[in-house]
Amino acid sequence: MLSTAQKTSFHADGYLVVENVLHGADIQPVIAEYDTYVEGLAANLVNAGRIDDTFSGEPFETRLARLCRQDIETYRQAEHLVDIAAVLGEETFHFLRNERLLDLIEAIIGPEITCSPIQHVRCKLPADLWDGASSYVAPWHQDAQVHTEEADKHFILTVWVPLVDTDEGNGCLMVVPKVHQQESVLWSEGFGISEQNMPEESVIPLPMKRGDVLLLHKLTPHASEPNQTDAIRWSMDLRYQKTGTPSGRSCYPSFVARSRQSRETELTDWRVWKQEWEDACRTYPQKVPRASRPTEPTHQTVTL
């Protein structure tokens, strides 16, 4: 759980890094699941004649990068190939319901917790692989910009979890604190926040260790720079909210991760989650876009 001081800090700054809250036993099964998935991807690439070496001796942090150096099409597709909705692994589902993680979330949004479908595993590849297909750089944005209008009035908590140590070398997250207090969405023509609309407050880099967790208000601007190493910055960014509020991505499945009042409503069977995602992705292969861009999302409820 969070202390009163930590909750006050989150409310004041719009973000909070909680250090060393997850154990190896919490994170390692997810890493092993994606390591196995990359192993299968490598085998498929060899069978297709697209690469000559599966790099089976490479560690998790570098193997996918080595595969991408052999096959540029894998690089172009990597963000989608290894995302949560592509893998839909059992260990990933269990991590979405991790008790230590939910204890942090409950301290912010209360005991009735829904896991939003806006959830990703990110493989931030080395910048020197970039050929113009994708820069693997997250521009300045607010997470309020990525859901549809139905969720504008509701608080959604972003939970960012590094699966490897992150720093400014491999593209750790950066935030602009306190901007969430303005209760304003800083829209630009495309995705993100244009240079003209960027707030003047100081940028704070957030180097984090594996086991740390970042809690982020959906109106806090954040970004990441290129990964200048030869390894991958693996991470998860997840969303949670009070049960009964709209996710802003209703075409994809949400589920109750914790309920202190009605335990029977919690989804515990990963196969149900997997099937719901597969059904939704067949029906809605593309993300449903917003129809409008209000600048003021009105009330942003935070439990203290």
* Average pLDDT value for residue range 195-199: 86
* Average pLDDT value for residue range 22-49: 96
Residue 246 domain boundaries: 7-23+87-283
Residue 41 identity (one-letter amino acid): L
Residue 62 domain-assigned (yes or no): no
Task: Compare 265 and 186 and report the one with higher pLDDT.
Answer: 265
* Structure confidence by residue, pLDDT tens digits, 148-190: 899 999 999 999 999 999 999 999 999 999 999 988 888 887 7
The region that residue 193 occupies, defined by phi over 0 for left and psi between -120 and 50 for alpha, beta otherwise, is beta
Residue 14 domain-assigned (yes or no): yes
Residue 64 domain-assigned (yes or no): no
**Quick check: helix, strand or coil at residue 120?**
strand
Tokens representing residue 291 in the block: 């129809």
The total of structural domains in the chain comes to 1
Residue 60 domain-assigned (yes or no): no
Task: Compare 225 and 1 and report the one with higher pLDDT.
Answer: 225
Residue 180 domain-assigned (yes or no): yes
pLDDT tops 90 at residue 134: no
Question: Among the listed ranges 152-156, 270-274, 285-289, which one has the minimum average pLDDT value?
Answer: 285-289
Would you say 47 and 71 are in contact if contact means Cβ atoms under 8 Å apart?
no
Residue 293 domain-assigned (yes or no): no
Residue 34 domain-assigned (yes or no): no
pLDDT at residue 136 in the model? 63
Residue 162 domain-assigned (yes or no): yes
Task: Supply the pTM of this predicted model.
Answer: 0.93
Query: Which domain CATH number covers 252?
Result: 2.60.120.620
Strands (E), the chain: 15-18, 113-115, 120-124, 156-162, 173-175, 204-206, 213-217, 222-224, 233-242, 255-258
Per-residue pLDDT band for 207 (boundaries 50, 70, 90) equals very high
